[in-house]
Amino acid sequence: MSREIPPRVLMEVTTAPQVARRSTRVRVQIPLTVTSLDRLRPFAERCEVIIVSAQGCGFRSSRTLQIGTPIFLSDLPGNRTVTGCVASCLPLGSDSKHFLVGASLYTHGNVWGIANPPADWNTGSEATAAAGPVPRPAAANSAPTASHKMTWPYNRFSAKGEAHPPKK
């Protein structure tokens, strides 16, 4: 018998006022399967989403993905699936063993099963209504401890907002 594990919500990520975001980003740990829908760019891997919004997500992958590649995200909370495309792909660290892949969803909403999502996630989309609430773990409401702030993925984000790696 399969037991569903609810997504682990870590904290909301605030954005600097000068950057206009369509919706609040929330740090999470959600395992999922990512599959390329482009037969010329085959890819299928078990990954972990580390940041989500109503319009997309960022997931950790062991392979680089080409921007624009259509992808299928499956095994989401509530056995949901969603499609989107690769919007960005950045190396995590200098060893090129892991990449942070940004995905833009074709259908916006709370497909992540986040209980009590931010108010700006109300996109009027059917995806939000279909997602429904998923119980939030008790520890999800607390901020990461000081010992976590220097470990991945926390060290990728500033306490003042989002961190963007410098361009080379």
CATH number (domain holding residue 42): 2.40.10.220
Q: For residue range 149-167, what is the model confidence (pLDDT) as tens digits?
A: 544 444 444 444 554 455 5
pTM above 0.85, yes or no: no
pLDDT interval class at 37 (50, 70, 90): very high
Residue 47 structural domain: 25-108
Q: Is residue 154 part of a domain?
A: no
pLDDT interval class at 128 (50, 70, 90): very low
Q: Is residue 134 part of a domain?
A: no
Q: Is residue 10 part of a domain?
A: no
**Residue keyed to tokens 């792909």:** 89
Number of domains in the chain: 1
Q: Is residue 130 part of a domain?
A: no
What pLDDT is attached to residue 122? 76
Residues ≥6 apart with Cβ < 8 Å to 147: none
CB atoms within 10 A of CB 118: 15
Q: Is residue 163 part of a domain?
A: no
Nearest 5°: the CA angle 81, 25, 97 is 70
Q: Which of 80, 20, 90, 78 is nearest to 51 (CA)?
A: 90
Q: Is residue 33 part of a domain?
A: yes
pLDDT interval class at 144 (50, 70, 90): very low
Q: For residue range 1-16, what is the model confidence (pLDDT) as tens digits?
A: 555 656 665 555 544 4
Residue type, 103: A
Alpha-carbon torsion, ordered 27, 30, 32, 38, to 10 deg:
-10
Total length of the chain: 168
Taking all residues of the chain, what is their mean pLDDT, rounded to a whole number?
Answer: 74
5 or 43, which is more confident? Answer: 43
What pLDDT is attached to residue 152? 47
Q: Is residue 12 part of a domain?
A: no
Q: Is residue 47 part of a domain?
A: yes
